[in-house]
Structure 1
Amino acid sequence: MFLLNVASCMLIILITCVVSGESILCDTCTCKNSIINCTENGLMDILDLWDHSDVLKDATLMHFDDNGIVHVKQLPPSKVRYLSLRKNKINKIDEMAFINLKLLLELDLSYNSLTAESLNPDIFKINNEDTSRPGSLIHLRLDYNNIHSLLPHTFKELSNLVSLTLAGNPLTVIDRATSFAMSSLPMLKILNLSNTSLNELPDHLLHTPRFLEILNLSNNKFTQIPQGLDEAHALQRLDFSSNPIKNIFFPKMASLKVLHLSHMPELNNIGPRAFSLLNVLEEFHCTHNNKLKSIDPTAFSYKLNDGLESELWPQIIKLDLSYNALGYLDSRLLSRWDTLEELNLQGNKWICDCVNQWLVSTLAPMVESRHPEFLNDFT
């Protein structure tokens, strides 16, 4: 009888602890279905909640943003697929901190105080049961930390990584160690290096990630287009906005379809054949360039080596030249204006004379039938 009572008491205590743990978690955080949101709750240690709650074990999305977390310790097993620790004060992550999160696909560590030394390669180790199988992590955000460079083997456990964001870190240059770290990501498709104070790229940086499709180099200090871009054979989208470049000429980029060149403070003209090696370009976004006054009519066209000097153009379907200082637009800039799906010319300083007559008689009616809003102040 005594043993039965003791057992009953222990069961009651156990049930009470579990219920209490769940109550503390969901009173402190927002719990909905498989989503746990612990944003702005003054947390110093994730384990203060994790240790006492079964709810966390089954959650697939977890947000611990805007807290006071400094040190990330090894987390218990969970089914989480997305874990966000952004906007904390993290400067230390234990080795194998995420090893028990075997379904983790996306990890957000942005807006913290991480350095190269903080990023021990083993912190990203996810699966320790099968050493031949790489971890599952495919998206990693390290933007807006204090990373000046990367150790060579930082990403050795991330051979499946598809997306890497390093924006807002004070890289300044990509040294040999950093270049080696990036080249160890063979499956990388998306790379964000915006706002990192770069003024050049190593020539062969983009050779190894042969599946790279999207590259963001905006808001840096480039004064010329890096010739190493021709190594990015699969690159489809490039954002090179907000760089102090005066002269534009792009190397051959056989797969590039979308190009952004906006908010360029020193760009005053786009010269002959500037984009002549971008033969499959479909979208050109060139806006808010306050000094851009002219675009050469041959900027996009290229000549065939057929003995006849035949001229060809890429099939541009989206052209945005809004809010520049353009006075003239040559009809020869594109071969087919009638195939454009989007065209935005507003916010320029168009000159009303015979040279621009085609804009009024031919182009304006075409645009008006599709996007009349793009003709605001176009008179």
Structure 2
Amino acid sequence: MSVRRFSFFLYMLCPFIIQVGTKNVTCPASCECDTFFGKKEVGCANLTDVPSNIPEDTNLLDLSGCNISHIHIQPLEKLFKLQIFTFQEINTNDENYNLTALDLPLLNEIVVDGGVSTSIPQLLPSYIGTLSVAYNNLGTLKSGSFKNYPNLETLLLWDCMLMKLEAGVLDNIPSLSTLEFNRNNLKDDSFPLGVFKKNQALDSVSFFANELKHVVSNLPSSVTSVDYSANTIFELRAYDFKSTPNLIYLYLQQNMINQLKDFTFAGLTSPLELNLSYNWITAIAKDAFKSLQSSKIDLSFNKLQSLQAEVFSHLTSSANVNLGGNLWNCDCHLRWLREALDNATYTIELPYTLKCATPVKLAGKSFIDLKPSDFVCM
């Protein structure tokens, strides 16, 4: 939790004094000091220089909102318990700070969000494991951007106006585990062939809120979680996920997918948490989910009117399905689904959200308020 988000109540309880060991140490002027979840946090604003009297046992230092033109490392060198350092929104760039000589054994995360950078900062400690450069104007992520940070495991690139990645840009960070491209302008052709080839430790990737029309191909097989939500994906092709057989979480909600073809998820195995809610799906082929026997499948708030019973015939007792918020045509062809509420081995979540759109005499009625015999063809 950022110290800038302290509640007023907590702020009043912290009259600029923080307990350090057996001593009372004054919190620097224009700063707030407190302890959250066992971490001692110091947050400062409206300063023109790094305070010289930062408590030495500080775990998180937040200089967000300060008007610091040059970051001097001398006040930071004594902070041997510092784990996270953020100087977001500082009006500065590389030539106004050099943290490469900063030798703090516990410092792992640096946040430089909200600046005016057009490139990845190059003068940070080489040993950091987490880097956030969100809210900048990067445009193109250039090859060599991470050559100084070989130990990076988490890279957050939110809201950076990214449009393209150059070939080899991720080659220097083979230990990368978490990568987030949230809210950028990335398209299908933004990713060069083989751009993830050397990232065989990659576990979680997020493309949330970009401009993708298809899923990204050739992600490493190590990946277990991918978020494609809030893009403009309009189709899923057979074997689209063959390079990531170990997926556990796959988020595709809020796209424009209109149908699911046979073998769409071929290569994936159970259990998988698959979210396809808030798409435009009107049809699902009977073998679309064939390999996902023990999975959680969310198909809520699509455009489904009918569905073949075979679509879920392979699901086991540990599987569950969410079908609420669709436009169900409650005729004889959907009687099986009403019966499934009572008899299926798998679980249909929130059954009261399954409501008939047609025929007129059943419109608006919940499946659980109807009997199978109510589902008839005229």
Q: Determine the C-alpha separation between the residues in 2 that align with 1:271 and 1:71.
A: 57
Task: Report how far residue 76 of structure 1 moved.
Answer: 2.6
The reply on whether 1:261 has 2:261 as its aligned counterpart is: no
What secondary structure, in the 3-state scheme, does the structure 1 residue paired with 2:148 have? coil
> What amino acid sits opposite 2:58 in the alignment?
A
Partner of 1:236: 224
> What amino acid sits opposite 1:175 in the alignment?
E
Partner of 2:289: 300
> What amino acid sits opposite 1:80 in the alignment?
L
Aligned counterparts, 1:1-379, within 5 A: 22-23=25-26, 25=28, 28-32=31-35, 35-38=40-43, 41-45=45-49, 47=50, 49=51, 51-53=52-54, 55=55, 57-69=56-68, 71-74=70-73, 75-78=76-79, 79-92=81-94, 94-96=97-99, 99-116=102-119, 119-120=121-122, 123-126=123-126, 135=127, 137-176=128-167, 180-200=168-188, 201-229=191-219, 232-249=220-237, 250-252=240-242, 253-264=244-255, 266-280=256-270, 282-289=272-279, 291-301=280-290, 313-363=291-341, 371-372=349-350, 375=353, 377=355, 378-379=366-367
Residue pair 2:321, 2:347 contacting (<8 A) in 1 also: no
**Alpha carbon RMSD of aligned pairs, Å?**
2.8
What secondary structure, in the 3-state scheme, does the structure 1 residue paired with 2:179 have? strand
* Cα distance change, pair 184–334 in 1 and its aligned pair in 2 (3 A): farther
Residue pair 1:270, 1:294 contacting (<8 A) in 2 also: yes
Which consecutive unaligned segments of at least 5 residues does structure 2 have? Answer: 1-23, 356-365, 368-378
> Which is strand-richer, 1 or 2?
2
* Cα distance change, pair 257–199 in 1 and its aligned pair in 2 (3 A): same
Task: Report how far residue 171 of structure 1 moved.
Answer: 1.8
**Percent identity at matched positions?**
22
* Cα distance change, pair 267–369 in 1 and its aligned pair in 2 (3 A): closer
What secondary structure, in the 3-state scheme, does the structure 1 residue paired with 2:329 have? coil
Q: Determine the C-alpha separation between the residues in 1 that align with 2:292 and 2:227.
A: 19
Residue pair 1:338, 1:366 contacting (<8 A) in 2 also: no
* Cα distance change, pair 30–96 in 1 and its aligned pair in 2 (3 A): closer
Q: Determine the C-alpha separation between the residues in 2 that align with 1:91 and 1:345.
A: 50
Task: Report how far residue 31 of structure 1 moved.
Answer: 3.5
* Cα distance change, pair 31–246 in 1 and its aligned pair in 2 (3 A): closer
Q: Which moved further from structure 2: 58-67 or 316-325?
A: 58-67
- So what's the TM-score if we normalise by structure 1? 0.76
What secondary structure, in the 3-state scheme, does the structure 2 residue paired with 1:275 have? coil
* Cα distance change, pair 24–241 in 1 and its aligned pair in 2 (3 A): closer
Q: Determine the C-alpha separation between the residues in 1 that align with 2:115 and 2:101.
A: 17
* Cα distance change, pair 68–318 in 1 and its aligned pair in 2 (3 A): farther
- So what's the TM-score if we normalise by structure 2? 0.76
> What amino acid sits opposite 2:78 in the alignment?
P
Partner of 1:7: none
How many equivalent pairs are there? Answer: 323
